[in-house]
Amino acid sequence: MTRKLFGTDGVRGRANSEPMTAEMALKLGAAAGRFFRTDGSRAHRVVIGKDTRLSGYMIENALTAGFTSTGMNVLLLGPVPTPAVGLLTPSMRADVGVMISASHNPATDNGIKLFGPDGYKLSDEAEAQIEALVFSDIQPAQAENIGRAKRIDDGRFRYVERVKSTFPAGLRLDGLKLVVDCANGAAYRAAPEVLWELGAEVIAIGVSPDGFNINDGVGSTAPETAAAKIKETGADLGICLDGDADRVILIDETGAVADGDQLMALLANRWAEEGRLKGQTLAATVMSNLGLERYLAERSIDLHRTPVGDRYVVEAMRAHGLNLGGEQSGHIVMTDYATTGDGLIAALQFLGEMVRTGKPASALARSFERVPQLLKNVRYGQGQTPLDTPGVQKAIAAGEAKLNGHGRLLIRKSGTEPLIRVMAEAEDEALMVAVVDEIVGAVEAAV
């Protein structure tokens, strides 16, 4: 069936516009409640977390009404990172977990991500069944079976303790000065607490959320803010999280940015040396740089590529028994520790290597030379399908012919925003730029 609601990472859109309205959130809560409450028992639970967007209050209340109307008991965590929902859903014996967040998007957007009772994001099949229920007549619970809602005050503390337990035993962060940029988002309290409790001197920025400033000039999409703070303070490392803290971008002591590919290269090599990289394989998306693939091949490590979206990375990891994967954008998934991407845990793994080796961040964050890569986005309007137009298809075919044997081309629709993403890699940068610009021009003409 054609999906109307769910994209690559749940339901997402502009707040108070379809599909991110209170009415739709209520229907989605009721549909998910009916899907997971498979009997008349009153023991069914849902865990709900959110980031710091103003619209989170509206969506949270609407979801709560929908879930309780179908007999689900709701446990409200308040502002917590997305991986905390993945952790606490099975821990609290819940049937389903919900995270209200639009991740790295601006404050005017919001989203709803669903987790199953095992703490993993739902499959396409489960989302399709829930979506079908949204657009059907949902049977409410009997009056005596309406669910309850309860605030959980210590969700953040449970998450903090879990995160600290993933840091190598016996090591401390004493003597390290760290800049942590929390994007005015969900980890604005948890991330500085974890790093300070492990012994670091913490310089925290992006920790004053007001409902409107999430990801606004801070966080993983604006690493230049943390880079400037590193130069100002002489910090050893910068840790840039996004709005829901499931991704991380690192900045070394010189101010240079290291993306998820560099972090995955470091961890994959280290874990392979220790014999703990399952399947001798890293799972990463089609967006990961060709330089990463070459680096892994030189070390007899396989790269299993997946569609874009950390959910698809996790699905491939579970299907093939892998324990390390992620995205260039900074989602790093380590199923030994978490069920989804966790920016803070990934940063701690990098810090563990800094402490273990005594090397500066710059020596660890540049494992391979990137093949030149260029990504450009083109926004399109509702109902438009620019990739289907003859002009765009002709430009793509021409670009592929030019790059044949000399690079890689990837054109796709974003699963979270109305964008066409045009990406190319090639050793010949002039050729790469020309190919991307020609395709972007054709897409712009089509929209």
Q: How confident is the model at residue 39 (pLDDT cuts 50, 70, 90)?
A: confident
For residue 382, what pLDDT is reported?
84
What does the mean pLDDT of the chain come to? 95
pLDDT in tens, 123-153: 989 999 999 999 999 999 999 999 999 999 9
For residue 4, what pLDDT is reported?
82
For residue 330, what pLDDT is reported?
96
Tell me the CA distances in angstroms from 132 to 22, 58, 62, 261, one per residue in order.
18, 23, 19, 37
Residue 119: inside a domain: yes
Given a cut of 90, is residue 41 above it in pLDDT? no
- Of the chain, the percentage scoring pLDDT greater than 70 comes to 100
Q: How confident is the model at residue 3 (pLDDT cuts 50, 70, 90)?
A: confident
Q: Which CATH number goes with the domain that contains 94? A: 3.40.120.10
Exposed/middle/buried for residue 149 (C-beta within 10 Å: 0-12, 13-18, 19+): middle
Please answer whether residues 378 and 386 qualify as being in contact, where contact means their C-beta atoms are separated by less than 8 angstroms. yes
pLDDT in tens, 69-98: 999 999 999 999 999 999 999 999 999 999
For residue 203, what pLDDT is reported?
98
Q: How confident is the model at residue 194 (pLDDT cuts 50, 70, 90)?
A: very high
Q: Range of 382's domain?
A: 373-446
H/E element, 76: strand 73-79
Residue 247: inside a domain: no
Final residue of a structural domain among 103, 122, 153: 153
For residue 2, what pLDDT is reported?
60
- The residue with tokens 């000065």 is 177
Higher pLDDT, 425 or 406: 425
Please answer whether residues 46 and 90 qualify as being in contact, where contact means their C-beta atoms are separated by less than 8 angstroms. no
Is 55 noted as a catalytic residue in this protein?
A: no
Residue 21: inside a domain: yes
Query: Average pLDDT, stretch 414-418?
Result: 80
Final residue of a structural domain among 121, 153, 185: 153
Please answer whether residues 39 and 73 qualify as being in contact, where contact means their C-beta atoms are separated by less than 8 angstroms. no
Exposed/middle/buried for residue 376 (C-beta within 10 Å: 0-12, 13-18, 19+): middle
Given a cut of 60, is residue 1 above it in pLDDT? no
- The residue with tokens 């021409």 is 398
The packing angle between helices 155-165 and 343-357, to 10°, is 30
How many structural domains compose the chain? Answer: 2
Stretch among 29-33, 57-61, 68-72, 384-388 having the lowest mean pLDDT: 384-388
* Beta-strand pair 6-7/10-14: antiparallel
CA pair distance 30, 25, nearest whole angstrom: 9
Please answer whether residues 307 and 322 qualify as being in contact, where contact means their C-beta atoms are separated by less than 8 angstroms. no
Final residue of a structural domain among 153, 174, 201: 153
Residue 283: inside a domain: no
Residue 223: inside a domain: no
Rg (CA), the chain: 22
Q: How confident is the model at residue 417 (pLDDT cuts 50, 70, 90)?
A: confident
Query: Average pLDDT, stretch 213-236?
Result: 98
For residue 104, what pLDDT is reported?
93
Residue 379: inside a domain: yes
Predicted TM-score (pTM) of the model is 0.90
CA pair distance 341, 333, nearest whole angstrom: 4
Could you say which of 55, 69, 101, 103 is catalytic? 103
Higher pLDDT, 11 or 407: 11
Q: How confident is the model at residue 405 (pLDDT cuts 50, 70, 90)?
A: confident
Higher pLDDT, 308 or 188: 188
Given a cut of 90, is residue 288 above it in pLDDT? yes
Query: Average pLDDT, stretch 30-35?
Result: 97
For residue 8, what pLDDT is reported?
79
Residue 137: inside a domain: yes
Residue 72: inside a domain: yes
Q: Which CATH number goes with the domain that contains 382? A: 3.30.310.50
